[in-house]
């Protein structure tokens, strides 16, 4: 199939798309236009492919709606004949449970702009260059490699501290997920569908954001001390009676019963000790009453 044929068939998720094009198979390797090394290469993707097949990296910074709108306005209203080319940085994780195994490590705001532009013109065939790096287990065992790559890519950009995923936080999240006391029944969700979970479950992205927003407290502790203190907090919460945690209503009773059943106590959102409250005691866990 030629490049132009591929482009024509990329309207597969438009409502008016012919039925026979619905099952087109996307193969990243067919998109390679240049190999840079054994573990990196450049591909060319349409905007629709970029949106449909590339997911945001779990530890990426929170999207800034104002920044997205600013970039959109510039792109939408640009009358310049020559403007900077958007180049995205992706990770290909062959071992990922994400179906398409591609993660956006740099360019998430521009990706959101492309979404908006496709709403304006769903038939757009504009293509974008992407540099792809192979890193397996990029959100778990090899997250440090992904973070190091992110920092190198952004080395010359004026990033504020919240922009940069912190290796300490990522490592702590990974250790919480794999701790048999804190997470005995895999109650911390790790799939990427929406980066949220219904309490008392919690998603690792929510946990990462909680810790990232409390860096001032966390950086006072070693990783082992943090886990030790969190276990103390967990133990204090799990032995509290219902009346000491919640107001009496059916919904709270259901959440409390679920927390007991799965033995997970770090996301009692509607209780007296939601995550935003127990984190205040992370340096002094014995003070939690």
What does the pLDDT look like over 131-172, one tens digit per residue? 999 999 887 778 878 888 887 876 655 544 445 556 678 888
Six-digit token string for 175:
């250790």
DSSP state of 259: H
State the Cα angle at 192 between 188 and 197, rounded to 5°.
Answer: 40
Query: Which pairing describes strands 202-203 and 40-46: parallel, antiparallel, or unpaired?
Result: unpaired
Percent share of the chain, pLDDT over 90: 49
How much is the CA Rg of the chain, to the nearest whole Å?
22
Q: pLDDT by residue (tens digit) across 256-265?
A: 999 999 999 9
Are 53 and 99 a contacting pair, CB within 8 Å?
A: no
What's the rounded Cα separation, in Å, for the pair 178 and 186? Answer: 8
Highest mean pLDDT among 19-23, 121-125, 134-138, 240-244: 240-244
pLDDT band at 8 (very low <50, low <70, confident <90, very high): very low
Are 68 and 111 a contacting pair, CB within 8 Å?
A: no
Task: For helices 223-238 and 167-177, give the axis angle rounded to 10 degrees.
Answer: 40
Are 215 and 169 a contacting pair, CB within 8 Å?
A: yes
HSE, CB side, 13 Å, CA atoms: give it for residue 50: 34
Question: In sequence order, which residues have a C-beta less than 8 Å from that of residue 226 and are 6 or more positions away?
Answer: 172, 218, 282
DSSP β-bridge partners for residue 102: 54, 92
Positive or negative torsion for Cα 182, 146, 118, 17: negative
pLDDT(37) > 60: yes
Highest mean pLDDT among 2-6, 15-19, 126-130: 126-130
Are 156 and 106 a contacting pair, CB within 8 Å?
A: no
> CB-based burial of residue 285 (10 Å sphere; 0-12 exposed, 13-18 middle, 19+ buried)?
middle
pLDDT at 171: 80
How many other C-beta atoms are found inside a 10 Å radius of the C-beta of residue 227? 16
């Amino acid at each position: 199939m030629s490049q132009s044929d591929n482009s024509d068939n990329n309207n597969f998720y438009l409502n008016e798309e012919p039925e026979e094009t619905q099952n087109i198979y996307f193969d990243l390797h067919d998109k390679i236009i240049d190999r840079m090394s054994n573990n990196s290469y450049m591909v060319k993707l349409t905007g629709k492919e970029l949106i449909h097949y590339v997911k945001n990296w779990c530890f990426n910074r929170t999207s800034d709606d104002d920044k997205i709108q600013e970039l959109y306005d510039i792109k939408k209203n640009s009358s310049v004949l020559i403007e900077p080319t958007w180049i995205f940085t992706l990770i290909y994780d062959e071992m990922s449970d994400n179906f398409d195994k591609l993660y956006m490590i740099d360019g998430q705001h521009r990706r959101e702009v492309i979404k908006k532009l496709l709403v304006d013109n769903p038939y757009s065939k504009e293509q974008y260059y992407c540099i792809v790096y192979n890193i397996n287990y990029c959100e778990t065992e090899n997250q440090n490699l992904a973070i190091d790559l992110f920092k190198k890519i952004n080395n010359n950009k004026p990033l504020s501290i919240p922009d940069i995923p912190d290796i300490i936080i990522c490592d702590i999240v990974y250790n919480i997920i794999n701790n048999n006391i804190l997470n005995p029944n895999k109650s911390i969700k790790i799939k990427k569908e929406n980066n949220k979970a219904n309490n008392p479950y919690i998603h690792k992205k929510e946990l990462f954001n909680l810790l990232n927003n409390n860096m001032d407290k966390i950086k006072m502790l070693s990783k082992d001390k943090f886990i030790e203190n969190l276990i103390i907090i967990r133990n204090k919460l799990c032995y509290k009676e219902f009346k000491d945690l919640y107001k009496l209503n059916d919904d709270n009773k259901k959440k409390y019963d679920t927390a007991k059943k799965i033995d997970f106590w770090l996301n009692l959102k509607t209780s007296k000790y939601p995550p935003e409250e127990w984190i205040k005691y992370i340096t002094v866990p014995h003070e939690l009453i």
